[in-house]
Structure 1
Amino acid sequence: MTETWEAPLHLRRTGIDPVGELAKARDDERVVRVETPAGPPAYLVSRYEDVRQVLADTARFSSAGTPFSAAGQENAGVAGQLITLDPPEHTRLRRLLTPEFTVRRMSRLQPRITEIVETALDELERAGKPADLVAHFALPVPSLVICDLLGVPYADRAGFHERAVRILDTSLPVEDRVAAQREDHDYMAGLVARAQADPGEDMLGMLVREHGRELTSAELTGIAGLLLLAGHDTTSNMLGLGTLALLWHPDQLAMLRDDPGLVEPAVEELLRWLSIVQTPPPRTTTTEVEIAGHTIPAGSLVLCSLPAANRDPALIGDPEILDITRGTTGHVAFGHGAHHCLGAPLARMELRIVLPALLRRFPDLALADTDDRVDFRVFSLVYGVRSLRVTW
Structure 2
Amino acid sequence: MRVVELFCGAGGAGFGLIRAGMRIEQAYDVSEQALAVHRANVIRLAPGSFMSKLFRYGVPTMQVRDLSALTRVIPEMTELHADLMIGGPPCQDFSSANQKRKEGDRADLTAAFALIVTSVRPQYFVMENVPDAAVSDAYARARMMFKYAGYGLTEHVLDASFYGAATARRRLIVVGCLGEVDDFLGEHLTAARSDHRVTVADVLGADFGEDHGDGRGKLYWFQPNGGESTGTRRVCEPSPTITGKTIVNRRNKYKPKKGDVPGWSDLVQPTPDQFSRIQGFPAGWDRSAAGSPSAMNQMLANSVPPPLAEAIGKCVLAHSRGERPDIPREFPWYYDEWLRERYKGTALRDQRSLFRAVQGLLGPTAVGPLRPALGLLDRHPALAKVSPQRKANLKSSLRLHRECYVECLLTGVLRE
TM-score (norm 1): 0.24
Greater helix share, 1 or 2? 1
Q: Which has the higher Rg, Structure 1 or Structure 2?
A: 2
Which structure has more relative contact order (CA 8 Å, sep 6+)? It is 1
